[in-house]
Amino acid sequence: MLDVMHRVTDGAGLRERGKAKRRAAITRAAFELFAEQGFDATTVAEIAAAAEVSPRTVTLYFRSKQDIAFATFDSSVEALTEALRSRAPGLPAVHALESWLREELACHDDLDEMGVRMFEANPELRAVKTARMAAVIEEGASILAEDTGQRPGSLGPRLAAAAAAAVITEIVEHPEGADRNGAITLAMAFLRGGVDAMIASENEKQAAGT
């Protein structure tokens, strides 16, 4: 029985790895085509041919060409949200953010660079990304409010989340000539100072109201 279960688990693992490889191949093929001829000029059929799969396979993994364009962005957002939500009890959100950011940059590759250039070259995609970032900031503000004992929707956590989003964008998308590790250390000191000031301000308000 255990041997059968082991084989079933191995089979499921192989299938998942196969799916992940196909998804990665489609994403890379698409990003290379976007870099070469532009997002708008690239067709799903061309992406399928470059990835050596059928157009139907592409649509099984991605509902639209835009979904492919946001593949790495969405993956990073999911990883960040998971890092913040699953952090150890008592660990400040800013510490979890720093760990995630360092890991993210350690895995930064040419695919990420192609993604940055793609968004820079396409105003429509940039607008969609801005809207998605607003949702990310809202989620971050909720986590920070919970983390610091602030009221949901209050200004302090929203400002801190917006600052964190700006920090991530600046470090990840504009690294030219920068010491990224040093930049992260500086940015985290800035964010921690802001969060500490926010907590101190709230404590003063509560003390004044008692």
What percentage of the chain exceeds 70 in pLDDT?
90
pLDDT level of residue 208 (50, 70, 90 thresholds): confident
Structure confidence at residue 86 (pLDDT) = 92
Residues in Cβ contact with 181 at an 8 Å cutoff, skipping those fewer than 6 apart: 102
The CATH fold of domain 70-209:
Tetracycline Repressor; domain 2 (1.10.357)
For CATH 1.10.10.60, list the domain ranges present in the chain.
Answer: 2-64
Which residue from 134, 132, 153, 133 is spatially nearest to 144, judged by alpha carbons? 153
**What confidence tens digit (pLDDT) does each residue in 179-192 have?**
778 888 888 898 88
The class level of CATH for 2-64 reads mainly alpha
Q: What is the DSSP letter of 91?
A: -
In the chain, what is the straight-line distance between the N-terminal and C-terminal CA atoms, in Å?
A: 65
Please report the pLDDT score of residue 106 as a whole number: 83
- Contact between 75 and 27 under an 8 Å Cβ cutoff? The reply is no
- Other CB atoms within a 10 A radius of the CB of residue 57 amount to 16
User: pLDDT at residue 10 above 90?
Assistant: no
Helices (H), the chain: 2-37, 44-51, 55-61, 65-69, 71-85, 93-106, 110-121, 123-148, 155-173, 180-209
pLDDT in tens, 74-105: 999 999 999 999 999 889 899 999 999 998 88
Distance in angstroms (rounded) separating the CA atoms of residues 40 and 27: 16
- pLDDT tens for 43-66 read 999 999 999 999 999 999 999 999
Other CB atoms within 10 A of residue 38 CB: 12
Summarised one tens digit per residue, pLDDT across range 123-161 is 999 999 999 999 999 999 999 888 888 887 888 889 989
Compute the distance between CA of residue 65 and CA of residue 42 in angstroms, rounded to an integer.
9
Please check whether residue 45 is in contact with residue 55, taking contact to mean a CB–CB distance below 8 angstroms.
yes
What is this structure's pTM?
A: 0.81
Q: How confident is the model at residue 8 (pLDDT cuts 50, 70, 90)?
A: very low
Average pLDDT, the chain: 86
Percent of the chain's residues with pLDDT above 90:
50
Q: Which two tokens stand for residue 90?
A: 């008592």
Q: For residue 180, give the 3-state DSSP assignment.
A: helix
- CATH 1.10.357.10-classified regions of the chain: 70-209
